Each structure stands twice: as C-alpha cells, then as structure tokens.
Structure 1
Amino acid sequence: MSPLPRPRRIVGVSLKMYYDIQNTLSYVRGVYQLDGLAWNARVDLFVIPDFVTLMESGRILESSHVKLGAQDTFWEDRGAYTGEVSPLTLQQAGVTIVEIGHAERRAMFGETDELVAKKAGAAARNGLIPLVCIGERTHHNIASAAVGMAVQECTPQITSVLAAVPDDFEVILAYEPVWAIGAAQPADPDHVVNVTKELRKLAANRKGITRIVYGGSAGPGTFAKIAEGVDGLFLGRFAHDIKNLRTVIEEVGGA
C-alpha cells in the first residue's frame, strides 16, 4: 500500500500578549498583504491575535484566505464561567483555529492533558480546528534517549486529544519541545524529524487530516531541515516582523 499523501503545508504565528490594539491590527493588516504569497505558494497561513482584537482582525482578513485563530478556549459552550471564552462565541466571531495547551498555559495555569483534551473536543464540537501544543519538558543529552523520552512524554498528550475529537475532524499538532521555546536555536533537526515521525504514527489511522507543525525558536532555514517530519511551522516573536514571516512562507512553500 502506498503511503498517504502529506497534508497541505501550513505556517502560523501567535502574537501572545506582546501587542496593544493598534499594533495588533497593524500587524494583521500586514499578514493580509501576504495572503496571495502564501496561497500561491501552496501554504495555509494563520494568525492568532489576542481576544480583544479578534472581531476587528476577522474583518480585516474577511476577504482573504488567511485563517483567524484564538489563543485559548473553554470546554463548555455556555454557563457561569466568569472570565472564560466560549468556543461557540469564537466560532461566531470568525475564528477557524484555536490554540490549546501551550506550554505556558500548562506551566502557569496547571492545564493537564485531560483539560486540554476537553478543550479540543469543545473546539471541534463548534467547528474549530484544535491546534494542540505538545512537547517534552526536559532534554536528554544522548540523542537516541532524547527521542524515546520525547515520544513517551508526548504520546499521552496526543492520544487524549485524539480520543476527544471526532475521527474525521482535522487536528493540528504543534510540536514544541518546552526546552526549545525562547532558546537561541531551534531543536536539533534530527531530533525533530525522528520524534515527529514517531508521533505521526499515532494518527496514522485517522480519517481526518492531522498536520504536525514545529514551534520553538523556529525561523529562516528551519523548515528545510525538518520537512521530512513536519508540515509547517508555528512561529513566535521572530515572525512579529512581517518581513521575517514572508521569508518563512517563501521557504515553506518552496522547500
């Protein structure tokens, strides 16, 4: 049996909490200008601003192919959950992708695999593509051991999510080794390829599309070295410069 074709490539960027309203909307307008570049390069493009600017960002991106993302969601659609954001509301606001389980949320707010899975299920229930962040917390100095430990730690993070999301629904897994987030250099390419190849097997029998992107100090030149294992990149502060984002889109589209 011939292997299934790899999914369409994808590049995205999260603005976290770095920008105010004016700068966020200015950035989103810049992403809008890259729409034709990304689409023609056979690359899906998404941007994740803060919650306050979601509606206006959606209006800016409305006539483009750029997908609008949100940085988190709650696991219930309605109820007495002060301060939380409903996945139903996000869907109505034009969001198509929702980021779940980032390492910062796991560390700062105690999010567990079980909670992340509940959020992923709620996102899918409302037609939102779960973008689930996964990754090992520690790095082993011996390469062969590092791969095995990473796969072992990431496996329950993935299987819990896949159990909560319909089998025919799209899922994006963002492999971000926690030790590589904010580092001077991304994780070793061989490590990323070997880990993501193993993790992809966990979703091999799904009917829905499962894409794997790499995050963790990713930048120019990163994708070509790890393309064997991933379908794209999930970028942070490096891509807050639109010129850098453009460079990465061109590389991912042409690699």
Structure 2
Amino acid sequence: MPPLPTQREKRIVGTSLKMYFDLPSTLRYIDAVAQLSSAAKQANVDLFVIPDFVTLLPSAEKLEDTNIQLGAQDTYSEDKGAFTGEVSPVTLKQVGASIVEIGHAERKRLFGETDADVARKAAAVVRNGMVPLVCIGEKNKSNIASQAVGMAVGECKPQIMAALSQLPDDADVILAYEPVWAIGASEPAGADHVVAVTQNLRALVAETGRKGRTRILYGGSAGPGTFQKLKEGVDGLFLGRFAHDVGNLEKVIEEMKES
C-alpha cells in the first residue's frame, strides 16, 4: 500500500446537475446552494456547483457574493473558430467559471470522447485560468477482490497521464474517480476498494514530481455517509443525484467539517 500523503489537501465537494433540471428549477437550486456558503466556509470546505451551459450566467450572478465556485460541464479544446455548437473555454472563464468538468464516462460512451480529446480540453481549461476536473474510472467491476484494485489503477493510469501530459507542471488539477459501474447504482463502490485505488492514484501522481495541487474526489452514487468511509483516500466527493436534495449536500459539508 502506498504511503498516505503527509499533508491532506483542503476538503472539497460539489455536484453536476447534468441535464436533469430546466431553467427555473436550476435557478431555484442555485439559490438554495448559495445559502450553504457560510456553512462551507465554517467547515473549511471548497464547495462548487456545475449547472448546464444556458444557466451559467444567471448562476454566476446568484453566486457572486458567496465563496461557492461555479463550474461548467464541458468545453471545447480551441478558444475560438468554426466549431458550431461547441462552447469556448474563453467564454466560460468570462462568465465566471473556475472549474470545468471534462471526460465524464457519459461523454466517452455517448459521444466517443477519447483520452486524447480530454487531454486537449484539460490544456484549454488551464490555458484560460480555470481548473480541470478530470473524470476517470474503470468500466467494469471485477468480481475477484484481489484483482479489482490493480485493474482499476491500470485502467485509470493512462487517463490520468494523458491529461497531465498536456498541462504545465504547476497547474492545479482535480481528479474525480468514478468507477463507471458505480455511476447511477444503488450504492457507491466499496470503501476498501475506493481507498486503495485512490491511494495508488495519488502515489502515481506524486511520482511524476509535478508541483501543482492535485485533489482527488470520489463520485459514483456518493451521498451522506460516504465521505467518512473514504477520507483516507480522497479529498472530497463529486455528488450526483443525491445532491438534488440540497439538504444532503449540507449533510456532506457537515461530515467533512467533523473529519
């Protein structure tokens, strides 16, 4: 087992709304999340929320006087040009985004994104002064416990290295470990598995000698009660549907404060 980091990074939690909400319900949700600003500050937790593209601007206005970070669900790898339907990282930065989620398993499955595509997007995000939230994870669950961790690390390694290879050595990065088989499941991946995988991934990043801050989140049916079981491996959580109830998001912040 690789050694634990000597200094744990600041806790962080956030959620992506994907395409679950319409315009009015998204803005109501952002209003509710904004009320957690004080709780997050008191808990010394970085809190972020990632709505859809259409609501980024009004969301930024609602979060302007809070310490909550605004994120975007994707970006294009070029700053400008004839790329119909894509969204420029320049525009995302101008609208107030500080985090950009890239490489989610759904993007890879539905739209054929590759590790190389994700790496180019990561470079574009950093180039424009934002932090890439790079989603990584293995596709299939191994039924042999002794092989599961090695298989997961082996599948995640090229995803991580592709992204890091395109970034400046001092760039900050967030890695969201989301086993594809756990996304949308009734329960998160087992704690022993997640801790072992993320500790190995942390050691893998450390071996590169990069100077930028790398924080690791767990996503995949995460909710209240998940973080305490995983805190020896991760810096926070990337929440999905459980965060649609803002009360659950508040509970996770409180759990991180206690840890």
> TM-score if structure 1 supplies the norm length?
0.98
Measured against aligned partners, the alpha-carbon deviations of 1:36-69 in whole angstroms (never above 9, x if no partner) come to: 1011101000000000000000000011110000
- Identity over aligned residues, as a percent? 65
Q: The residue matched to 2:237 in structure 1 has which SS?
A: strand
Partners in 2 of 1:208 and 1:236 — Cα distance?
27
Root mean square deviation of aligned Cα: 1.0
- Contiguous gaps of at least 5 residues in structure 2: none
Find the partner of 1:244 among 228, 233, 248: 248
The alpha carbon displacement at 1:3 in A equals 4.9
Structure 1 residue aligned with 2:227? 223
Task: After TM superposition, list the pairs within 5 Å mapping 1:67-216 onto structure 2.
Answer: 67-204=69-206, 205-216=209-220
Q: Could you tell me whether the CA contact under 8 Å between 1:159 and 1:202 is conserved in 2?
A: no
Q: Would you say how many aligned residue pairs link Structure 1 and Structure 2?
A: 254
Partners in 2 of 1:8 and 1:166 — Cα distance?
22
Partners in 2 of 1:3 and 1:22 — Cα distance?
43
Of residues 196-205 and 79-88 in structure 1, the stretch that sits farther from structure 2 once superposed is: 196-205
Q: The residue matched to 1:252 in structure 2 has which SS?
A: helix
The alpha carbon displacement at 1:4 in A equals 3.8
Structure 1 residue aligned with 2:13? 11
> TM-score if structure 2 supplies the norm length?
0.97
- Contiguous gaps of at least 5 residues in structure 1: none
Partners in 2 of 1:147 and 1:57 — Cα distance?
39
The alpha carbon displacement at 1:165 in A equals 1.2
Q: Which amino acid aligns with 2:246?
A: I
Partners in 1 of 2:178 and 2:162 — Cα distance?
17
The alpha carbon displacement at 1:21 in A equals 0.7
Q: Could you tell me whether the CA contact under 8 Å between 1:69 and 1:98 is conserved in 2?
A: yes
